[in-house]
Amino acid sequence: MTPARGSAFFFGSVAKYPTGGAYASALSGLSADQIEKELAEQAWELSRIAERKYRRARHGYYLVLLFLLAWAVARVALSLAG
């Protein structure tokens, strides 16, 4: 997931700076209010990403459990048929 807009704290945005010094210069130009806003937006973006990953992982676990149940039923049916 990409951020809705560039952020001073989003890894993808930070990595676009050519050097660490260039990033530090850009960061030092922000006011305390701007930093607070950037951090709040970044926390919101990361929480959305984490929620989406958790939901997808949970669905994946359900699919694996469903597969294992179907496999067990098929093995039992095969052993009873033979």
**4 within a domain of the structure (yes/no):** no
**47 within a domain of the structure (yes/no):** yes
Cβ distance 35 to 8 under 8 Å? yes
**23 within a domain of the structure (yes/no):** yes
**63 within a domain of the structure (yes/no):** yes
**24 within a domain of the structure (yes/no):** yes
Range of the domain at 17: 11-81
Q: What is the pLDDT of residues 8-26, one digit of tens each?
A: 888 888 899 999 999 999 8
Instruction: Give the count of domains, the chain.
Output: 1
Tokens of 69: 């149940």
**Residue 17: left if φ>0, alpha if ψ -120 to 50, beta else—which one?**
beta
**1 within a domain of the structure (yes/no):** no
Q: What pTM was computed for the model? A: 0.64
Q: Where are the alpha helices (DSSP H) in the chain?
A: 11-14, 20-28, 32-81
Q: What is the pLDDT of residues 27-62, one digit of tens each?
A: 899 999 999 999 999 899 889 999 999 999 999 999
Q: Is the pLDDT of residue 1 over 70?
A: no
